[in-house]
Structure 1
Amino acid sequence: MSDIFNAIIMGVVEGLTEFLPVSSTGHMILTAHLLNFLGERAKTFEIIVQLGAVIAVFVLYFRRFFRFFNFTPGYMQRPGVNIIHVGLAMAPAVIIGLALHDFIKEYLFGPWSVLIGLVAGGILMIVAERVRIPITADSMDDITYKQAFLIGVFQCLALWPGFSRSGSTISGGLLVGTSQKAVAEFTFIVSVPIMFAASGLDLYKSRAFLTFDDLGLFLVGLVISFVVGMIAVVTFINAIKRLKLSWFAYYRFVLAFFFYLILSNSF
Protein backbone atom coordinates (compact mmCIF):
# COMPACT_ATOMS: atom_id res chain seq x y z
CA MET A 1 0.00 0.00 0.00
CA SER A 2 2.86 2.39 0.76
CA ASP A 3 4.16 1.89 -2.79
CA ILE A 4 0.78 2.79 -4.30
CA PHE A 5 0.58 5.83 -2.02
CA ASN A 6 4.04 6.91 -3.22
CA ALA A 7 2.98 6.34 -6.83
CA ILE A 8 -0.10 8.53 -6.42
CA ILE A 9 1.78 11.36 -4.72
CA MET A 10 4.68 11.27 -7.17
CA GLY A 11 2.31 11.03 -10.16
CA VAL A 12 0.38 14.10 -9.01
CA VAL A 13 3.59 16.06 -8.34
CA GLU A 14 5.03 15.17 -11.76
CA GLY A 15 1.81 15.97 -13.62
CA LEU A 16 1.38 19.32 -11.88
CA THR A 17 4.96 20.52 -12.19
CA GLU A 18 6.38 19.10 -15.45
CA PHE A 19 5.22 22.01 -17.59
CA LEU A 20 5.16 24.78 -14.99
CA PRO A 21 8.31 26.89 -14.53
CA VAL A 22 9.00 25.40 -11.09
CA SER A 23 11.15 22.33 -11.96
CA SER A 24 9.41 18.98 -11.93
CA THR A 25 12.74 17.19 -11.49
CA GLY A 26 13.44 19.29 -8.43
CA HIS A 27 10.01 18.59 -6.99
CA MET A 28 10.36 14.86 -7.67
CA ILE A 29 13.78 14.66 -5.99
CA LEU A 30 12.60 16.61 -2.94
CA THR A 31 9.30 14.70 -2.72
CA ALA A 32 11.14 11.37 -2.98
CA HIS A 33 13.32 12.36 -0.04
CA LEU A 34 10.27 13.35 2.01
CA LEU A 35 8.60 10.01 1.22
CA ASN A 36 11.89 8.12 1.67
CA PHE A 37 11.23 6.64 -1.77
CA LEU A 38 14.84 6.28 -2.84
CA GLY A 39 17.17 3.96 -4.71
CA GLU A 40 17.42 2.71 -8.28
CA ARG A 41 13.84 1.39 -8.27
CA ALA A 42 12.53 4.82 -7.32
CA LYS A 43 14.68 6.51 -10.00
CA THR A 44 13.23 4.15 -12.61
CA PHE A 45 9.73 5.00 -11.40
CA GLU A 46 10.48 8.72 -11.82
CA ILE A 47 11.37 8.10 -15.48
CA ILE A 48 8.07 6.27 -16.03
CA VAL A 49 5.88 9.00 -14.51
CA GLN A 50 7.70 11.65 -16.53
CA LEU A 51 6.64 9.78 -19.66
CA GLY A 52 3.01 10.10 -18.52
CA ALA A 53 3.26 13.88 -18.55
CA VAL A 54 4.99 13.88 -21.94
CA ILE A 55 2.28 11.68 -23.47
CA ALA A 56 -0.30 14.18 -22.16
CA VAL A 57 1.26 16.97 -24.24
CA PHE A 58 1.51 14.73 -27.31
CA VAL A 59 -2.22 13.95 -27.04
CA LEU A 60 -3.13 17.62 -26.66
CA TYR A 61 -0.98 18.73 -29.63
CA PHE A 62 -1.12 15.61 -31.81
CA ARG A 63 -2.46 17.49 -34.85
CA ARG A 64 0.48 19.87 -34.68
CA PHE A 65 2.94 16.97 -34.52
CA PHE A 66 1.37 15.25 -37.53
CA ARG A 67 1.59 18.51 -39.47
CA PHE A 68 5.34 18.62 -38.87
CA PHE A 69 5.84 15.65 -41.19
CA ASN A 70 3.82 17.03 -44.08
CA PHE A 71 6.89 17.66 -46.22
CA THR A 72 5.74 19.58 -49.27
CA PRO A 73 7.67 21.94 -51.60
CA GLY A 74 8.62 25.12 -49.76
CA TYR A 75 8.39 23.39 -46.36
CA MET A 76 11.07 25.52 -44.72
CA GLN A 77 9.51 28.75 -46.00
CA ARG A 78 5.97 27.78 -44.97
CA PRO A 79 4.63 30.05 -42.19
CA GLY A 80 4.34 28.61 -38.72
CA VAL A 81 6.50 26.51 -36.45
CA ASN A 82 7.78 23.37 -38.17
CA ILE A 83 10.12 20.48 -37.46
CA ILE A 84 13.15 22.67 -38.27
CA HIS A 85 12.26 24.98 -35.38
CA VAL A 86 11.95 21.98 -33.07
CA GLY A 87 15.27 20.53 -34.22
CA LEU A 88 17.07 23.84 -33.70
CA ALA A 89 15.58 24.17 -30.21
CA MET A 90 16.51 20.60 -29.29
CA ALA A 91 20.07 20.52 -30.62
CA PRO A 92 21.97 22.42 -27.89
CA ALA A 93 20.47 20.47 -24.97
CA VAL A 94 20.76 17.13 -26.79
CA ILE A 95 24.46 17.65 -27.54
CA ILE A 96 25.38 18.89 -24.08
CA GLY A 97 23.04 16.44 -22.35
CA LEU A 98 24.60 13.43 -24.09
CA ALA A 99 28.10 14.69 -23.35
CA LEU A 100 27.42 15.30 -19.65
CA HIS A 101 24.66 12.72 -18.97
CA ASP A 102 26.60 10.50 -16.58
CA PHE A 103 28.15 13.46 -14.74
CA ILE A 104 24.76 15.12 -14.25
CA LYS A 105 23.11 11.92 -13.01
CA GLU A 106 25.94 11.14 -10.61
CA TYR A 107 26.71 14.55 -9.15
CA LEU A 108 23.71 16.86 -9.65
CA PHE A 109 20.67 14.68 -8.91
CA GLY A 110 20.56 15.48 -5.21
CA PRO A 111 18.46 17.77 -2.99
CA TRP A 112 21.16 20.38 -2.44
CA SER A 113 21.79 20.81 -6.16
CA VAL A 114 18.03 21.22 -6.62
CA LEU A 115 17.91 24.06 -4.09
CA ILE A 116 20.65 25.91 -6.00
CA GLY A 117 18.77 25.38 -9.26
CA LEU A 118 15.49 26.60 -7.79
CA VAL A 119 17.03 29.87 -6.61
CA ALA A 120 19.20 30.48 -9.71
CA GLY A 121 16.28 29.70 -12.04
CA GLY A 122 14.01 32.02 -10.08
CA ILE A 123 16.48 34.87 -10.43
CA LEU A 124 16.67 34.28 -14.19
CA MET A 125 12.87 34.39 -14.44
CA ILE A 126 12.65 37.71 -12.60
CA VAL A 127 15.36 39.23 -14.79
CA ALA A 128 13.68 37.97 -17.97
CA GLU A 129 10.34 39.47 -16.94
CA ARG A 130 11.78 42.85 -15.98
CA VAL A 131 14.04 43.35 -19.00
CA ARG A 132 11.62 44.78 -21.54
CA ILE A 133 12.56 43.26 -24.90
CA PRO A 134 10.29 44.30 -27.82
CA ILE A 135 8.03 41.40 -28.82
CA THR A 136 8.51 40.24 -32.40
CA ALA A 137 6.77 36.84 -32.00
CA ASP A 138 3.33 37.30 -30.47
CA SER A 139 2.18 33.75 -31.26
CA MET A 140 4.07 30.46 -31.46
CA ASP A 141 3.89 30.46 -35.26
CA ASP A 142 5.71 33.82 -35.37
CA ILE A 143 8.86 32.33 -33.79
CA THR A 144 11.85 32.49 -36.14
CA TYR A 145 14.55 29.86 -36.61
CA LYS A 146 17.04 32.10 -34.79
CA GLN A 147 14.70 32.55 -31.83
CA ALA A 148 14.05 28.79 -31.73
CA PHE A 149 17.79 28.08 -31.56
CA LEU A 150 18.37 30.69 -28.84
CA ILE A 151 15.48 29.30 -26.79
CA GLY A 152 17.22 25.93 -27.16
CA VAL A 153 20.43 27.41 -25.78
CA PHE A 154 18.55 28.58 -22.70
CA GLN A 155 17.05 25.11 -22.40
CA CYS A 156 20.54 23.80 -21.62
CA LEU A 157 20.22 25.41 -18.19
CA ALA A 158 17.52 22.86 -17.39
CA LEU A 159 20.15 20.10 -17.43
CA TRP A 160 20.86 21.31 -13.89
CA PRO A 161 18.05 19.82 -11.75
CA GLY A 162 15.90 22.53 -10.22
CA PHE A 163 16.39 25.05 -13.01
CA SER A 164 13.24 23.91 -14.86
CA ARG A 165 12.95 23.33 -18.60
CA SER A 166 9.91 25.56 -18.99
CA GLY A 167 11.37 28.18 -16.65
CA SER A 168 14.59 28.33 -18.67
CA THR A 169 12.91 28.34 -22.09
CA ILE A 170 10.17 30.82 -21.18
CA SER A 171 12.81 33.15 -19.73
CA GLY A 172 14.91 32.69 -22.85
CA GLY A 173 11.92 33.38 -25.07
CA LEU A 174 11.17 36.65 -23.29
CA LEU A 175 14.81 37.69 -23.64
CA VAL A 176 14.83 37.04 -27.41
CA GLY A 177 11.53 38.77 -28.20
CA THR A 178 8.70 36.24 -27.95
CA SER A 179 5.52 36.67 -25.95
CA GLN A 180 5.10 34.56 -22.84
CA LYS A 181 2.24 32.57 -24.37
CA ALA A 182 4.14 31.94 -27.61
CA VAL A 183 7.22 30.55 -25.91
CA ALA A 184 5.17 28.55 -23.40
CA GLU A 185 3.38 26.69 -26.21
CA PHE A 186 6.65 26.24 -28.10
CA THR A 187 8.20 24.82 -24.93
CA PHE A 188 5.46 22.20 -24.68
CA ILE A 189 6.01 21.17 -28.31
CA VAL A 190 9.79 20.92 -27.96
CA SER A 191 9.53 19.05 -24.66
CA VAL A 192 7.90 15.99 -26.24
CA PRO A 193 10.73 14.72 -28.50
CA ILE A 194 13.53 15.77 -26.16
CA MET A 195 11.89 14.18 -23.12
CA PHE A 196 11.00 11.02 -25.02
CA ALA A 197 14.65 10.77 -26.04
CA ALA A 198 15.98 11.50 -22.54
CA SER A 199 13.51 9.13 -20.89
CA GLY A 200 14.29 6.43 -23.44
CA LEU A 201 18.01 6.70 -22.68
CA ASP A 202 17.38 6.64 -18.94
CA LEU A 203 15.04 3.63 -19.24
CA TYR A 204 17.62 1.74 -21.29
CA LYS A 205 20.26 2.38 -18.64
CA SER A 206 17.79 1.37 -15.90
CA ARG A 207 16.40 -1.68 -17.73
CA ALA A 208 17.63 -4.03 -15.00
CA PHE A 209 15.13 -2.43 -12.60
CA LEU A 210 12.11 -2.84 -14.91
CA THR A 211 10.39 -5.86 -13.39
CA PHE A 212 6.91 -7.33 -13.73
CA ASP A 213 6.48 -7.08 -9.94
CA ASP A 214 6.54 -3.29 -10.22
CA LEU A 215 4.07 -3.10 -13.12
CA GLY A 216 1.19 -1.91 -10.91
CA LEU A 217 3.36 0.76 -9.29
CA PHE A 218 4.55 2.06 -12.66
CA LEU A 219 1.08 2.04 -14.24
CA VAL A 220 -0.51 3.96 -11.36
CA GLY A 221 2.17 6.65 -11.56
CA LEU A 222 1.99 6.82 -15.37
CA VAL A 223 -1.81 7.20 -15.53
CA ILE A 224 -2.02 9.78 -12.76
CA SER A 225 0.83 11.81 -14.24
CA PHE A 226 -0.89 11.69 -17.66
CA VAL A 227 -4.29 12.87 -16.36
CA VAL A 228 -2.92 15.56 -14.05
CA GLY A 229 -0.48 16.67 -16.75
CA MET A 230 -3.27 17.24 -19.28
CA ILE A 231 -5.22 19.33 -16.78
CA ALA A 232 -2.11 21.32 -15.82
CA VAL A 233 -1.13 22.11 -19.43
CA VAL A 234 -4.61 23.27 -20.45
CA THR A 235 -4.95 25.37 -17.30
CA PHE A 236 -1.51 26.93 -17.70
CA ILE A 237 -2.00 27.85 -21.36
CA ASN A 238 -5.38 29.44 -20.61
CA ALA A 239 -3.94 31.45 -17.72
CA ILE A 240 -0.51 32.31 -19.11
CA LYS A 241 -1.42 35.87 -20.16
CA ARG A 242 -2.55 36.68 -16.62
CA LEU A 243 0.33 35.00 -14.82
CA LYS A 244 3.56 36.80 -14.02
CA LEU A 245 6.73 34.76 -14.31
CA SER A 246 7.95 36.35 -11.08
CA TRP A 247 5.11 34.68 -9.14
CA PHE A 248 6.62 31.31 -9.95
CA ALA A 249 10.07 32.65 -9.03
CA TYR A 250 8.88 33.70 -5.56
CA TYR A 251 7.27 30.28 -5.10
CA ARG A 252 10.63 28.70 -5.96
CA PHE A 253 12.40 30.83 -3.36
CA VAL A 254 9.89 29.85 -0.66
CA LEU A 255 10.14 26.18 -1.65
CA ALA A 256 13.95 26.29 -1.59
CA PHE A 257 13.95 27.91 1.86
CA PHE A 258 11.41 25.39 3.19
CA PHE A 259 13.44 22.41 2.02
CA TYR A 260 16.67 24.04 3.18
CA LEU A 261 15.28 23.97 6.69
CA ILE A 262 14.20 20.33 6.30
CA LEU A 263 17.47 19.18 4.75
CA SER A 264 19.56 21.06 7.30
CA ASN A 265 17.92 19.04 10.04
CA SER A 266 18.07 15.77 8.12
CA PHE A 267 21.65 15.49 6.95
Structure 2
Amino acid sequence: MSDLLTAIILGVVEGITEFLPVSSTGHLVLATELMGYDPQRWAVFNVAIQPGAILAVVVLYWRTFMAVLSGLFRGEKQSIAFVRNLLIAFVPAVALGLVFNDQIEALLESAAVVAWALIIGGLGILVVEKLAKTETIGGISAVSTAQSAKIGLVQCLAMIPGVSRSGATIMGAMALGIDRRTAAEFSFFLALPTLSGATVLQLFKHRDAITGDDLQLIAVGTVVSFVVALAVVKAFMAVVTKHGFAPFAWYRIAAGAAALLMLSAQ
Protein backbone atom coordinates (compact mmCIF):
# COMPACT_ATOMS: atom_id res chain seq x y z
CA MET A 1 0.00 0.00 0.00
CA SER A 2 1.35 3.43 -0.94
CA ASP A 3 2.23 5.99 1.72
CA LEU A 4 -0.33 8.41 0.26
CA LEU A 5 -3.16 5.91 0.61
CA THR A 6 -2.00 5.09 4.14
CA ALA A 7 -2.08 8.80 5.03
CA ILE A 8 -5.62 9.10 3.66
CA ILE A 9 -6.86 6.04 5.56
CA LEU A 10 -5.35 7.24 8.84
CA GLY A 11 -6.77 10.72 8.20
CA VAL A 12 -10.24 9.21 7.83
CA VAL A 13 -9.79 7.22 11.05
CA GLU A 14 -8.66 10.37 12.90
CA GLY A 15 -11.55 12.44 11.58
CA ILE A 16 -14.15 9.83 12.54
CA THR A 17 -12.85 9.01 15.99
CA GLU A 18 -11.26 12.18 17.44
CA PHE A 19 -14.40 13.60 19.03
CA LEU A 20 -16.25 10.33 19.60
CA PRO A 21 -15.72 8.57 22.96
CA VAL A 22 -13.98 5.67 21.21
CA SER A 23 -10.29 6.80 21.26
CA SER A 24 -8.82 8.20 18.06
CA THR A 25 -5.26 7.36 19.15
CA GLY A 26 -6.32 3.83 19.99
CA HIS A 27 -7.90 3.33 16.58
CA LEU A 28 -4.84 4.75 14.83
CA VAL A 29 -2.58 2.40 16.80
CA LEU A 30 -4.79 -0.58 15.91
CA ALA A 31 -4.92 0.50 12.26
CA THR A 32 -1.13 0.64 12.03
CA GLU A 33 -0.81 -2.74 13.76
CA LEU A 34 -3.60 -4.71 12.07
CA MET A 35 -2.92 -3.34 8.58
CA GLY A 36 0.78 -4.06 8.80
CA TYR A 37 2.12 -0.48 8.98
CA ASP A 38 5.31 0.34 10.86
CA PRO A 39 3.96 1.81 14.14
CA GLN A 40 7.17 3.69 14.93
CA ARG A 41 7.18 5.40 11.55
CA TRP A 42 3.54 6.51 11.74
CA ALA A 43 3.42 7.41 15.46
CA VAL A 44 4.35 11.06 14.92
CA PHE A 45 2.04 11.29 11.90
CA ASN A 46 -0.89 10.08 14.00
CA VAL A 47 -0.41 12.96 16.45
CA ALA A 48 0.56 15.57 13.85
CA ILE A 49 -2.69 15.30 11.87
CA GLN A 50 -4.86 16.18 14.88
CA PRO A 51 -5.01 19.91 13.96
CA GLY A 52 -7.32 18.93 11.11
CA ALA A 53 -9.94 17.70 13.55
CA ILE A 54 -9.31 20.74 15.76
CA LEU A 55 -10.01 23.08 12.85
CA ALA A 56 -13.33 21.31 12.26
CA VAL A 57 -14.49 22.37 15.74
CA VAL A 58 -13.34 25.94 15.11
CA VAL A 59 -15.36 26.05 11.87
CA LEU A 60 -18.49 24.44 13.34
CA TYR A 61 -18.48 26.62 16.47
CA TRP A 62 -17.10 29.84 14.97
CA ARG A 63 -19.99 31.87 16.35
CA THR A 64 -19.14 30.69 19.87
CA PHE A 65 -15.49 31.59 19.39
CA MET A 66 -16.37 35.04 18.08
CA ALA A 67 -18.77 35.63 20.97
CA VAL A 68 -16.14 34.59 23.53
CA LEU A 69 -13.44 36.75 21.93
CA SER A 70 -15.65 39.82 21.76
CA GLY A 71 -16.78 39.14 25.33
CA LEU A 72 -13.18 39.01 26.53
CA PHE A 73 -12.46 42.41 25.01
CA ARG A 74 -15.49 43.79 26.83
CA GLY A 75 -14.54 42.06 30.07
CA GLU A 76 -17.71 39.97 30.25
CA LYS A 77 -17.71 37.53 33.16
CA GLN A 78 -19.25 34.74 31.08
CA SER A 79 -16.49 34.84 28.45
CA ILE A 80 -13.78 35.07 31.10
CA ALA A 81 -15.26 32.05 32.91
CA PHE A 82 -15.40 30.12 29.60
CA VAL A 83 -11.68 30.60 28.93
CA ARG A 84 -10.72 30.17 32.60
CA ASN A 85 -12.43 26.79 32.83
CA LEU A 86 -10.75 25.44 29.71
CA LEU A 87 -7.32 26.62 30.85
CA ILE A 88 -7.78 25.06 34.29
CA ALA A 89 -8.76 21.75 32.69
CA PHE A 90 -5.79 21.97 30.31
CA VAL A 91 -3.08 22.37 32.97
CA PRO A 92 -2.96 18.74 34.29
CA ALA A 93 -2.41 17.37 30.77
CA VAL A 94 0.49 19.78 30.23
CA ALA A 95 2.16 18.82 33.49
CA LEU A 96 1.82 15.06 33.14
CA GLY A 97 2.48 15.11 29.40
CA LEU A 98 5.84 16.79 29.87
CA VAL A 99 6.86 14.50 32.74
CA PHE A 100 5.73 11.17 31.26
CA ASN A 101 6.13 11.84 27.53
CA ASP A 102 8.57 8.95 26.95
CA GLN A 103 6.36 6.45 28.80
CA ILE A 104 3.32 7.63 26.84
CA GLU A 105 5.14 7.15 23.53
CA ALA A 106 6.08 3.61 24.57
CA LEU A 107 2.42 2.78 25.19
CA LEU A 108 1.57 3.99 21.67
CA GLU A 109 3.30 0.91 20.32
CA SER A 110 1.10 -1.55 22.27
CA ALA A 111 -2.02 -2.62 20.38
CA ALA A 112 -2.96 -5.00 23.22
CA VAL A 113 -3.10 -2.10 25.68
CA VAL A 114 -5.45 -0.29 23.28
CA ALA A 115 -7.76 -3.29 22.93
CA TRP A 116 -8.13 -3.76 26.70
CA ALA A 117 -8.58 -0.02 27.24
CA LEU A 118 -11.40 0.03 24.68
CA ILE A 119 -13.24 -2.74 26.52
CA ILE A 120 -12.73 -1.31 30.02
CA GLY A 121 -13.61 2.19 28.83
CA GLY A 122 -16.80 0.90 27.22
CA LEU A 123 -17.88 -0.69 30.48
CA GLY A 124 -17.05 2.56 32.28
CA ILE A 125 -19.30 4.55 29.93
CA LEU A 126 -22.20 2.19 30.59
CA VAL A 127 -21.75 2.59 34.34
CA VAL A 128 -21.63 6.40 34.18
CA GLU A 129 -24.63 6.55 31.84
CA LYS A 130 -26.66 4.47 34.29
CA LEU A 131 -25.60 6.05 37.57
CA ALA A 132 -24.74 9.69 36.82
CA LYS A 133 -27.24 12.29 38.05
CA THR A 134 -26.91 15.24 35.70
CA GLU A 135 -28.67 18.57 35.34
CA THR A 136 -28.60 21.32 32.74
CA ILE A 137 -26.17 23.96 34.00
CA GLY A 138 -26.18 26.50 31.18
CA GLY A 139 -22.97 25.91 29.25
CA ILE A 140 -19.20 25.79 29.76
CA SER A 141 -19.00 29.15 31.52
CA ALA A 142 -21.32 27.82 34.24
CA VAL A 143 -18.97 24.95 35.12
CA SER A 144 -17.19 25.62 38.42
CA THR A 145 -13.43 25.91 38.73
CA ALA A 146 -13.36 22.80 40.91
CA GLN A 147 -15.31 20.82 38.31
CA SER A 148 -12.98 22.09 35.55
CA ALA A 149 -9.92 20.95 37.49
CA LYS A 150 -11.42 17.49 38.04
CA ILE A 151 -12.31 17.18 34.34
CA GLY A 152 -8.70 18.08 33.53
CA LEU A 153 -7.42 15.35 35.85
CA VAL A 154 -9.75 12.78 34.31
CA GLN A 155 -8.58 13.80 30.83
CA CYS A 156 -5.10 12.63 31.79
CA LEU A 157 -6.36 9.04 31.73
CA ALA A 158 -6.43 9.41 27.95
CA MET A 159 -2.63 9.37 27.93
CA ILE A 160 -3.18 5.61 27.95
CA PRO A 161 -3.99 4.83 24.29
CA GLY A 162 -7.46 3.41 23.93
CA VAL A 163 -8.96 5.28 26.89
CA SER A 164 -10.28 8.17 24.73
CA ARG A 165 -9.71 11.81 25.57
CA SER A 166 -13.25 12.80 24.65
CA GLY A 167 -14.72 9.79 26.46
CA ALA A 168 -12.77 10.51 29.65
CA THR A 169 -13.68 14.20 29.72
CA ILE A 170 -17.34 13.69 28.82
CA MET A 171 -17.90 10.88 31.30
CA GLY A 172 -15.90 12.73 33.94
CA ALA A 173 -18.07 15.80 33.47
CA MET A 174 -21.27 13.77 33.62
CA ALA A 175 -20.09 12.03 36.79
CA LEU A 176 -19.76 15.52 38.27
CA GLY A 177 -23.40 16.24 37.44
CA ILE A 178 -22.91 18.18 34.20
CA ASP A 179 -25.49 17.60 31.45
CA ARG A 180 -24.60 15.64 28.28
CA ARG A 181 -24.54 18.58 25.88
CA THR A 182 -22.34 20.79 28.07
CA ALA A 183 -20.05 17.82 28.80
CA ALA A 184 -19.64 17.12 25.08
CA GLU A 185 -18.99 20.76 24.20
CA PHE A 186 -16.51 21.10 27.07
CA SER A 187 -14.67 18.13 25.58
CA PHE A 188 -14.73 19.65 22.08
CA PHE A 189 -13.29 22.99 23.18
CA LEU A 190 -10.78 21.44 25.58
CA ALA A 191 -9.41 19.53 22.58
CA LEU A 192 -8.06 22.75 21.09
CA PRO A 193 -5.28 23.48 23.60
CA THR A 194 -4.74 19.81 24.47
CA LEU A 195 -4.30 18.44 20.95
CA SER A 196 -2.47 21.54 19.74
CA GLY A 197 0.01 21.18 22.59
CA ALA A 198 0.53 17.47 21.91
CA THR A 199 1.10 18.14 18.20
CA VAL A 200 3.63 20.92 18.80
CA LEU A 201 5.48 18.77 21.35
CA GLN A 202 5.73 15.77 19.00
CA LEU A 203 6.80 17.82 15.98
CA PHE A 204 9.44 19.64 18.03
CA LYS A 205 10.77 16.48 19.66
CA HIS A 206 11.08 14.63 16.34
CA ARG A 207 11.92 17.65 14.17
CA ASP A 208 15.27 16.21 13.01
CA ALA A 209 13.67 12.96 11.83
CA ILE A 210 10.79 14.53 9.87
CA THR A 211 11.47 14.78 6.13
CA GLY A 212 9.82 16.82 3.41
CA ASP A 213 7.88 13.75 2.31
CA ASP A 214 6.65 13.28 5.89
CA LEU A 215 5.35 16.85 5.95
CA GLN A 216 3.47 16.26 2.70
CA LEU A 217 1.83 13.15 4.13
CA ILE A 218 0.97 15.02 7.34
CA ALA A 219 -0.66 17.76 5.24
CA VAL A 220 -2.78 15.17 3.40
CA GLY A 221 -3.83 13.45 6.61
CA THR A 222 -4.68 16.78 8.22
CA VAL A 223 -6.95 17.86 5.36
CA VAL A 224 -8.72 14.49 5.27
CA SER A 225 -9.27 14.47 9.05
CA PHE A 226 -10.70 18.01 8.86
CA VAL A 227 -13.27 17.15 6.19
CA VAL A 228 -14.36 13.94 7.91
CA ALA A 229 -14.53 15.53 11.38
CA LEU A 230 -16.85 18.27 10.08
CA ALA A 231 -19.51 15.66 9.32
CA VAL A 232 -18.84 13.49 12.36
CA VAL A 233 -19.19 16.20 15.02
CA LYS A 234 -22.64 17.20 13.74
CA ALA A 235 -23.80 13.58 13.62
CA PHE A 236 -22.33 12.88 17.05
CA MET A 237 -24.38 15.58 18.77
CA ALA A 238 -27.53 14.27 17.10
CA VAL A 239 -26.89 10.70 18.27
CA VAL A 240 -25.99 11.76 21.83
CA THR A 241 -29.10 13.91 22.15
CA LYS A 242 -31.35 11.04 21.11
CA HIS A 243 -29.59 7.90 22.32
CA GLY A 244 -26.95 8.96 24.86
CA PHE A 245 -23.48 7.38 24.88
CA ALA A 246 -24.44 3.72 25.21
CA PRO A 247 -24.05 2.98 21.45
CA PHE A 248 -20.43 4.12 21.63
CA ALA A 249 -19.84 2.00 24.75
CA TRP A 250 -21.06 -1.17 23.04
CA TYR A 251 -18.99 -0.33 19.97
CA ARG A 252 -15.88 0.03 22.14
CA ILE A 253 -16.45 -3.34 23.77
CA ALA A 254 -17.03 -5.06 20.42
CA ALA A 255 -14.03 -3.35 18.77
CA GLY A 256 -11.74 -4.18 21.68
CA ALA A 257 -12.80 -7.82 21.72
CA ALA A 258 -12.38 -8.10 17.95
CA ALA A 259 -8.94 -6.51 18.14
CA LEU A 260 -7.83 -9.00 20.81
CA LEU A 261 -8.99 -11.87 18.65
CA MET A 262 -7.17 -10.53 15.59
CA LEU A 263 -4.00 -9.85 17.56
CA SER A 264 -4.02 -13.36 19.02
CA ALA A 265 -4.40 -14.81 15.52
CA GLN A 266 -1.33 -13.00 14.18
Cα deviation 1:195-246 (Å, max 9, x = unaligned):
1001100111121232113343222211111100111112212332113212
Match of 2:248 in 1: 248
- Matched with 1:33 is 33
Match of 1:195 in 2: 195
Worse-matched range after superposition: 256-265 or 144-153: 144-153
Cα separation, 2, equivalents of 1:239 and 1:250: 14
Task: State the partner residue of 1:217.
Answer: 217
User: What is the CA–CA distance in structure 1 between the aligned matches of 2:79 and 2:147, rounded to whole Å?
Assistant: 15
Aligned-residue offset at 1:40: 3.7
- Please give the residue correspondences for 1:161-176 in structure 2 after superposition, counting only pairs within 5 Å: 161-176=161-176
Is the contact made by 1:80 and 1:140 (CA closer than 8 Å) also made in structure 2? no
Q: Is the 8 A contact 2:32 2:38 kept in 1?
A: yes
Letter matched to residue 86 of structure 2: V
Partner AA of 1:177 in structure 2: G
Residue 15 (1) aligns with residue 15 (2): yes
Mean Cα displacement is larger for which, 58-67 or 111-120? 58-67
- Structure 1 residue 182: deviation in Å? 0.9
Distance 1:34 1:237, change over 3 A: same
Given the two structures, how large is their TM-score scaled by the length of structure 2?
Answer: 0.91
- Per the alignment, residue 183 of structure 1 pairs with 183
Whether the 8 Å contact between 1:169 and 1:183 is mirrored in structure 2 is yes
2:114 corresponds to which letter in structure 1?
V
Question: How many correspondences in the alignment?
Answer: 265
The percent identity for this pair of structures is 38
Q: Which amino acid aligns with 1:203?
A: L
SS in 2 for 1:163: coil
Output the amino acid matched with 2:174.
Answer: L
- 1:68-92 per-residue CA deviation (whole Å, 9 max, x = no partner) reads 45545765x4378521011111122
CA separation in 2, counterparts of 1:242 and 1:205? 42
Using the TM superposition, name which of 189-198 and 81-90 deviates more.
81-90
**How many Å apart are 1:34 and its aligned residue?**
2.1
> Match for 1:115: what amino acid?
A
Q: CA RMSD in A?
A: 2.1
Structure 1 portions without partners, runs of 5+: none
Quick check: 1:128–1:174 contact (8 Å CA) kept in 2? yes
The correspondence of residues 7-156 of structure 1 with structure 2, limited to 5 A, is: 7-69=7-69, 70-71=71-72, 75=76, 77-78=77-78, 81-107=81-107, 109-156=109-156
Distance 1:26 1:245 in 2: 18
Q: Distance in 2 between matches of 1:218 and 1:30?
A: 19
Of residues 213-222 and 120-129 in structure 1, the stretch that sits farther from structure 2 once superposed is 213-222
Structure 1: how far apart are the matches of 2:92 and 2:220? 33
Structure 2 runs not aligned, ≥5 long: none
Alpha carbons of structure 1 residues 10 and 73: separation in structure 2 relative to 1, 3 Å:
closer
Q: Aligned partner of 1:121: which letter?
A: G
- Mapped contact 2:89–2:150 kept (Cα < 8 A): yes
- Tell me the residue number matched to 2:265: 265
How many Å separate the matches in 2 of 1:87 and 1:148? 9
Distance (Å, rounded) in 1 between the aligned partners of 2:66 and 2:99: 30
- Asked if the contact 2:155/2:168 (under 8 Å) is kept, the reply is yes
Contact between 2:154 and 2:168, CA under 8 Å: does it hold in 1?
Answer: yes
CA distance in 1, matches of 2:158, 2:262: 24
How far off its partner does 1:66 sit?
4.7
